[in-house]
């Protein structure tokens, strides 16, 4: 037991030192198209929306972006379009300028298209090709029509193609050359995916899940990500809502349109129990929501954290209360130690696993 405690303590000390060297420097400039090195430090207290470099693209994006799966009516239950339009407007008022969507997110792109009329220049729009039978180019043409725009700012493949699908990278380059998209990337899932993307100079960035309960693959490649300087979009910062801290062990999701409807009882109970172990962060951040999102925001490698938003109260929290805050180096160290103890992530060496640590 003492050996285990020493190992966990060593892990905490390591990440604390790393965090102390890398506490976020974010730019206060709101210009979306021009980079600047005139950054300002931001620590634990929130101070309004901040803007970050979107990799090497020259774009400036709000550090909290709008995840639009929730307003599509698929994935998180039914929604009212008029409410979604009001939510988007409120996000804009609070400084959000980045929205991420996909053709497979129900009505999301069409709702966004209606909202963006007359205000397209205020937003950086990201969407995805998800393997539709029509093919990438034809799907993109439909998306441009639904979004009521002539160009997509950031177009992603919804996975990392290989084998017979590898030709999609050539097609992605072609639509960029044609001026239909400005920058390109992928949505990925594994350490191997990250290694692949970092080896390609033609890809401007990637999207990845990264949260308190899922530190990898982001943390597994943190050093390389710091050096690469690619645009990084973080999704699932709230672990499908569980890191809000509002769910109990007996939580149910009866709506078939809610992706969590398919979760097993064991999966729900285990996730709730893990979330409870991170409650100590509430004292520093003010709430579990703010703590959960400020975790990925505490790493300068992250360009933006997208948050699913479908109500005005969520918009107020996501874009008015979360931005501008960071977790302390001490908290980041304690987080990593707890992640080790709980066996979260895949990067722990085998010699650690012999002592029950992953």
Single out the residue of 213, 207, 212 nearest to residue 302, CA to CA: 207
For residue 78, the model assigns a pLDDT of 62
Beta bridge partners of 41: 25
Angle at 250 between CA 245 and CA 256, to 5 degrees: 90
For residue 347, the model assigns a pLDDT of 61
For residue 181, the model assigns a pLDDT of 98
For residue 349, the model assigns a pLDDT of 47
According to DSSP, residue 210 is labeled -
Residue reference for tokens 């401007």: 204
Beta bridge partners of 185: 156, 205
- Under 8 Å between Cβ of 220 and 345: yes
For residue 47, the model assigns a pLDDT of 52
87 vs 66: CA distance, rounded Å: 10
> Which residues touch 48 (CB under 8 Å, ≥6 apart)?
95, 323, 324
338: three-class secondary structure by DSSP: helix
205 vs 230: CA distance, rounded Å: 5
Pairing of strands 51-53, 60-62: antiparallel
- Under 8 Å between Cβ of 50 and 27: yes
Residue reference for tokens 């505490």: 298
Angle at 235 between CA 168 and CA 317, to 5 degrees: 145
339 vs 36: CA distance, rounded Å: 35
- Under 8 Å between Cβ of 184 and 154: yes
> Which residues touch 250 (CB under 8 Å, ≥6 apart)?
none
User: Would you identify the CATH topology of the domain 37-325?
Assistant: TIM Barrel (3.20.20)
Single out the residue of 157, 150, 213 nearest to residue 185, CA to CA: 157
- Under 8 Å between Cβ of 95 and 48: yes
284 vs 280: CA distance, rounded Å: 8
Q: By CB neighbour count within 10 A (0-12 exposed, 13-18 middle, 19+ buried), where does 154 fall? A: buried
218 vs 301: CA distance, rounded Å: 10
139 vs 141: CA distance, rounded Å: 5
261: three-class secondary structure by DSSP: helix
Please report, for the chain, the start and end positions of each structural domain, with discontinuous segments joined by +: 1-23+329-358, 37-325
The rounded average pLDDT for each run of 10 residues, N- to C-terminus, in the chain (358 residues) is: 40 43 38 34 57 98 93 65 93 97 91 96 97 97 98 97 93 98 97 96 97 96 95 94 84 75 85 94 95 97 95 94 94 96 72 38
Interior/surface letters 271-308, b for 16+ CB within 10 angstroms, e for the rest: bbebbeebeebeebbbebbbbbbbbbbbbbbbbbbbbb
167: three-class secondary structure by DSSP: helix
- Under 8 Å between Cβ of 101 and 70: no
């Amino acid at each position: 037991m003492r050996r285990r405690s020493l190992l966990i303590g060593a892990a905490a000390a390591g990440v604390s030192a790393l965090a102390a060297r890398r506490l976020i420097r974010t730019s206060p400039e709101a210009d979306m198209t021009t980079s600047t090195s005139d950054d300002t430090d931001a620590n634990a207290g929130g101070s309004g929306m901040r803007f970050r470099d979107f990799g090497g693209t020259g774009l400036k994006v709000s550090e909290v972006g709008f995840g639009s799966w929730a307003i599509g009516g698929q994935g998180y239950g039914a929604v009212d379009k008029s409410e979604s339009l009001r939510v988007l407007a409120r996000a804009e008022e609070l400084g959000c300028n980045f929205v991420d969507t996909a053709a497979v997110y129900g009505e999301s792109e069409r709702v966004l298209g209606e909202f963006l009329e007359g205000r397209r220049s205020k937003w950086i729009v990201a969407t995805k090709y998800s393997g539709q039978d029509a093919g990438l180019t034809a799907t993109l043409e439909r998306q441009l029509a639904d979004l009521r725009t002539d160009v997509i700012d950031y177009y992603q493949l919804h996975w990392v193609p290989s084998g017979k699908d590898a030709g999609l990278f050539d097609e992605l380059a072609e639509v960029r050359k044609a001026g239909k998209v400005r920058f390109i990337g992928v949505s990925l899932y594994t350490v191997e995916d990250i290694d692949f993307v970092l080896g390609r100079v033609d890809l401007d960035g990637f999207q990845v899940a990264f949260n308190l309960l899922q530190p990898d693959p982001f943390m597994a490649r943190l050093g390389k990500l710091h050096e690469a300087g690619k645009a990084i979009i973080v999704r699932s910062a709230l672990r499908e809502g569980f890191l809000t801290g509002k769910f109990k062990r007996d939580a149910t999701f009866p709506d078939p349109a809610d992706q969590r409807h398919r979760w097993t009882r064991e999966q729900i109970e285990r996730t709730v129990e893990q979330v409870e172990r991170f409650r100590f962060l509430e004292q520093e951040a003010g709430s579990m929501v703010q703590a959960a999102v400020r975790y990925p925001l505490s790493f300068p490698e992250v360009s933006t954290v997208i948050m699913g938003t479908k109500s005005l109260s969520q918009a107020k929290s996501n874009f008015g209360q979360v931005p501008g805050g960071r977790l302390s180096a001490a908290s980041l160290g304690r987080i990593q130690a707890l992640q080790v103890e709980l066996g979260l992530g895949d990067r722990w060496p085998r010699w650690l696993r012999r002592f029950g640590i992953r």
